[in-house]
Structure formats: structure tokens, C-alpha cells
A and B are shown apart, each in its own frame.
Chain A
Amino acid sequence: MVSLWVLIGILIKILVVVGITQGAVAYLILVERKIAAYTQDRIGPNRAGPFALLQPLADGAKMLLKEDVIPKYVSRPLYILAPWIAITMAMIAFAVVPFGPVGPDQIINFQIAPYVNIGILYVFAVGSLSVYGVILAGWASNNKYSFLGGLRSTAQLISYEIPLGLSILGMVLITGSLDLNDIINWQDRQGVWGIFVQPLGFLLFLVSAFAETNRLPFDLPEAEQELVGGFHTEYSAMKFGMFFLGEYLHIITVSYITVILFFGGWDIPFFLSQEQTSVWSAALKVLVMIVKVFAVILFMMWIRWTLPRFRYDQLMDLAWKSMIPLALINLVATAAVVQLIRTYWV
């Protein structure tokens, strides 16, 4: 019977998380449009409802009601599969992301699948799979612009995945765990956030994260100016909307990972700790985490409207000639320091 209740609990959590993130995506698009407008000295959407709060509804209705055109020349199964991959992979990465405190003595575990000890590996594995959505969309569209977009995505993948993986290894070495909860708990116990222990790792992770989420300055696969719409040129209506949804879900996931790895998750030093188990402290922790994640998302949007797009070869240059060596140096130095501390201090 106990396992049944656990199952029901998990199902409820899944529903809540999926519902909230989907809603959040709708409003993130509004936030992004507002930020875009403000940075360009415009006003942005302000007609639908007070402060344009109904704009996401209007956008969503438009997406759903538009005619869904599937051109004759596309490879149909893959063409239909691609947006599903994009959205599913972005969503299931959330399974191991703790969005609040998790522990044996907590009343609610704020995580869909708690105690997954490969945590971060799973997130990156699934995150890498989501690039299949882009590549398949580009290939199945049977259109040269889409295809170029897909090709660029492939090139981008092999460039940034390595520094992305290497950049988090420092944190993993220090905390001694791949489980995201353990990483938060370590930062809470030591009273220091990951960004202060691993500043270089943070920078490398952030840059790779922009590439991972296909955001400017690394949005080569969709580069409107040269590739029409890039990989989603041939997509319309909700299929296009699903790519959009997937992109923003990915942003939320990556922001959660950034906050967990480098900004202490739900932790506020001297204020919140893992010993607190009351409902109120749990609610506060969830809220703290959401605020931090929102700040990271805002920063990503801010970057988007500040930096121009990197050229294809510049991205390769940056990833292979700067970021990978830096990440390796960071990794070796961290490993040496951790080994020294373990040998002589503990």
C-alpha cells in the first residue's frame, strides 16, 4: 500500500511540475518580449489585459488555432517526431531536479525522482538528447536552410558538450557526489556557494549553457538573418510552438542546474539550513529557489539582447581553443587541491 501512495504522490508532483513549468514558459515568453522591447527603447506588448498579462493566452490560442501545414516534401515520421523529442527531452530532465528541500526527514520531497545518485549525469544525458530534435527537424524538413540549421546544431553540440561536462566536474569533485541534493547540502554545510569555490567553472558552465539552450550568442541553428528560420523553417502552428516550448523549458532546467550547482540551491547562508524540516521552511526554500532561478533566467535574456551572434568558426574557436583547455586546467587544479585537503586536513 505504501508504494501505491508513493506512486500517487509522484504522479501529483509530476502534474504540478509540468503544469507550473508550462505556465511559466508562457509568461517567460512575455517577459522576454518585454525585456527585448525595453532594451531596444520600445514598449513591447501592452494591449492584452493589464500589463499584457493575457498576452500568453492570446499567443497560445494563436499557436493552437493556426493551420498546421506539413509540406509534401518532408520526411513525415521524423518531421512529426522532432518537436516531440524537443519538448519531451526538455521536460523529463526535470525528473531529478530538486525544486526544494529533499531529505529523509522532510515532510515532502520536492523532487519527482528523489535520491537518484547519477542526478547531474542524467540531466546532461537528456539535455544532449534534445539536440536530436533540432537535428532531425533540420534533416526531415528537406529544406536547405533547415538542413544548414541542423548541421550547425551538430557542430555546436560537439563543441560545447565537452566544456559543459568538464566545467561541472570541479563541483562534483569538491562535493564528492553527482546527486544534486548532495551538492546543495554540501554548499549549505560549508556555508559557501559554488560560484565562490569554482568561479572559472561557473563561467565556463554559463557559456556552455547558452550553447546548450540554443540561446544567443550561440543560436546558430536558427540564425534568422541567414537561415530564414533555421531548423524550424518548415514548421508551423503548434509544432513550431512545441520547439519554442522546448527551448524555454530547457532554459528553466538549465537555470535550475545553475542555481543548484553554483548558487546554493535553496540555501541562504545563516538563514536556511538542511536541518529545518517544517512546512514553512520548505515553502520558503522553494520560493528562494524560484527567485534565484528567475534571476538566472533574466540574466540569460539580458545576455541575449546584449551580445551579437557568434559566427560558426568563432564558436568552434571559443569552445575548442579556449574553453576546453581552461576547463581542463580548472579540473586538474581542483583535483589537486581536493586531494591535498583530503590528505592533510581531514
Chain B
Amino acid sequence: MRLDDPKLRKIEPPKLSLADRFYVTQVAVGLAVTARHYLGVAFGNKAITVQYPEVQHVPSPVYRGVHRLNKDHEGRVKCVACMMCATACPAHCIDIVGATAPESWNDREKYPESFVIDELRCIYCGMCEEACPVEAIELTGLYDITGLSREEMIFDKTKLLSVYDLTREAEPMKFTTPPPTADAKQTEALPSPLS
């Protein structure tokens, strides 16, 4: 861009008044600001920090913490082992072993025999959550996961399902739409490209 381009806007720094140039008035204004904050914390209980171990911080609803595997109303894992999350995962931390669903589970063909997330490799981006077609995997607001070894931080299916039990009250499932069983009948009529 040339210097005389008409689209170029020149911004002048604001002109300081004489009082501003003497600093003193502006210093007084600044002192008033800090005093307001100081008094607010000292007498008005305005501190924005929480006393962590005693008071638990509640993160915002969009916070991305530990994963959980949702269960449906029958208590079965919702996951259909479609591998969408594992494919979407940029950190390659999800490892799923799918298996044919039991005969009695007539709403799906597959279920995860094993579902393992390495919480240390995970970057908590939430792509798995977005990729999941059946809302089976979700990121919870739990932020204080700890482990004494790296093995402890690799969460298996049981552990992930227990996270769901732990957080189902505090965080109901974000999408309560049931798995698409009603529509599934219609699509079944169409010839599948795979068969």
C-alpha cells in the first residue's frame, strides 16, 4: 500500500492537556481506581479468585474437561463404534475396538468392546464431541484429574462411563435427541452402498 493511498487512515495520538502532562491529576485518577479495587476486596468481598480446595471452581458450560461416555436410558453405552471421533481426533488419543452388538441391541450393529482415551495426549479440543453422530462422547467440566503414573491417566471404557455417572446430575447431556432409530427404518429400505 502506498503512503498516499486514500484508504489509509492516519491516527494521531490524543493531545494531552496541560494537567495530563503534569501527571499528577492522572496519577490521582489511577490511585482512585486501585483504591476502589482494594477496598472492594478488603470490605466488599469482591475478589475474583476462589479458595480452591475448599471452594470448587465451577467452569463455564462450554468448558472442555475430561471426556465421558454417555449412557442411554437403558444404561447401555451410547457409542456405536463408528470411529468418527478417533478419526477426527488431531492428537490420535482415542483407541476403539468395535464388536458386533449383541442380538438384543436392535438399534445398532456395533458397540465398542474397548474404548480408551489417553488423557495425557488429548489436547481437549472437543473435535470428538463434534464428530460423534450419536452424542456418545462429551467433554465434561471436570478439570482436576490427577494420576500417579502415566498408565493411570489412560482412561478405559469403565472409567469413562463412571465419569458419566459422576457428572450426569451436574451436566445433563448437551443433546438429548435419542439415537435416530425412527429414521433408521426408512434408510434401511434404501440399498446400502456397502452391501
A-to-B contact residues, CB < 8 Å = 35, 37-43, 46, 203, 302-303, 305-307
**Chain B residues with CB under 8 A of A42:** 41, 47-49
Q: Does A303 lie within 8 Å of B38, measured CB to CB?
A: no
Smallest CB gap from A34: residue in B: B42
Q: What's the nearest-Cβ distance from chain B to residue A175, in Å? A: 26
Cα of A35 to Cα of B51 in the assembled complex, Å: 18
Q: A43-B47, A43-B49, A43-B51 are in contact. Are A305 and B24 (CB under 8 A)?
A: no
Chain A CB within 8 A of B33 CB: yes
Cα of A305 to Cα of B36 in the assembled complex, Å: 13
Chain A CB within 8 A of B34 CB: yes
Cα of A307 to Cα of B26 in the assembled complex, Å: 10
Q: Does A302 lie within 8 Å of B35, measured CB to CB?
A: yes
CB interface residues, B 19-51, toward A, < 8 Å: 24, 27, 30-31, 33-35, 37-38, 40-42, 46-49, 51
Q: What's the nearest-Cβ distance from chain B to residue A204, in Å? A: 12
By Cβ-Cβ distance, the 4 closest A-B pairs, closest first, are A38-B41, A38-B38, A306-B34, A306-B30
**Chain A residues with CB under 8 A of B37:** 38-41
Q: Does B33 lie within 8 Å of A306, measured CB to CB?
A: yes
**Chain A residues with CB under 8 A of B31:** 302-303, 306
Q: Interface residues of B, CB < 8 Å — how many? A: 17
Q: List 25 A-B residue pairs with CB atoms under 8 Å apart, sorted by A's residue number.
A: A38-B41, A38-B47, A39-B34, A39-B37, A39-B38, A39-B41, A40-B37, A41-B41, A41-B46, A41-B47, A41-B48, A41-B49, A42-B41, A42-B47, A42-B49, A43-B41, A203-B24, A302-B34, A302-B35, A302-B38, A303-B31, A305-B34, A306-B30, A306-B33, A307-B27
**Chain A residues with CB under 8 A of B38:** 35, 38-39, 302
**Chain B residues with CB under 8 A of A306:** 27, 30-31, 33-34
Smallest CB gap from A207: residue in B: B23
Mark contacts of B80-121 with chain A using CB atoms, 8 A cut-off: 1 yes-contact digit, 0 otherwise: 000000000000000000000000000000000000000000
Q: What's the nearest-Cβ distance from chain B to residue A48, in Å? A: 14
Cα of A38 to Cα of B30 in the assembled complex, Å: 15
Cα of A37 to Cα of B46 in the assembled complex, Å: 12
Smallest CB gap from A40: residue in B: B37
Smallest CB gap from B28: residue in A: A306
Q: What's the nearest-Cβ distance from chain B to residue A176, in Å? A: 30
Cα of A43 to Cα of B46 in the assembled complex, Å: 9
Q: Does A41 lie within 8 Å of B40, measured CB to CB?
A: yes
Cα of A307 to Cα of B35 in the assembled complex, Å: 13
**Chain A residues with CB under 8 A of B34:** 39, 302, 305-306
Smallest CB gap from B43: residue in A: A38
Q: What's the nearest-Cβ distance from chain B to residue A294, in Å? A: 16
**Chain A residues with CB under 8 A of B40:** 41
**Chain A residues with CB under 8 A of B30:** 306-307
**Chain B residues with CB under 8 A of A307:** 27, 30
Cα of A41 to Cα of B45 in the assembled complex, Å: 9
**Chain A residues with CB under 8 A of B24:** 203
Cα of A305 to Cα of B46 in the assembled complex, Å: 18
Of B27, B42, B51, the residue contacting A38 (CB under 8 A) is B42
Q: What's the nearest-Cβ distance from chain B to residue A75, in Å? A: 39
Q: What's the nearest-Cβ distance from chain B to residue A8, in Å? A: 45
Cα of A42 to Cα of B33 in the assembled complex, Å: 15
**Chain B residues with CB under 8 A of A35:** 38
Q: What's the nearest-Cβ distance from chain A to residue B110, in Å? A: 51
Q: What's the nearest-Cβ distance from chain B to residue A45, in Å? A: 12
Cα of A190 to Cα of B21 in the assembled complex, Å: 35
**Chain A residues with CB under 8 A of B47:** 38, 41-43
Cα of A103 to Cα of B41 in the assembled complex, Å: 45
**Chain A residues with CB under 8 A of B46:** 41
Cα of A38 to Cα of B51 in the assembled complex, Å: 14
Smallest CB gap from B40: residue in A: A41
Q: What's the nearest-Cβ distance from chain A to residue B26, in Å? A: 9
Cα of A179 to Cα of B48 in the assembled complex, Å: 49
Cα of A302 to Cα of B47 in the assembled complex, Å: 18
Cα of A40 to Cα of B49 in the assembled complex, Å: 10
Question: Given A41-B40, A41-B41, A41-B48, 13 more contacts at CB 8 Å?
Answer: A37-B41, A38-B37, A38-B42, A39-B34, A39-B38, A41-B37, A42-B49, A43-B47, A43-B51, A303-B27, A306-B31, A306-B34, A307-B30
Q: What's the nearest-Cβ distance from chain A to residue B37, in Å? A: 5
Cα of A316 to Cα of B95 in the assembled complex, Å: 63
A35, A41, A303: most-surrounded residue (chain B CB, <10 A): A41
**Chain B residues with CB under 8 A of A302:** 31, 34-35, 38
**Chain A residues with CB under 8 A of B49:** 41-43
Mark contacts of B46-71 with chain A using CB atoms, 8 A cut-off: 1 yes-contact digit, 0 otherwise: 11110100000000000000000000
Smallest CB gap from B32: residue in A: A306
**Chain B residues with CB under 8 A of A303:** 27, 31
Cα of A307 to Cα of B29 in the assembled complex, Å: 11
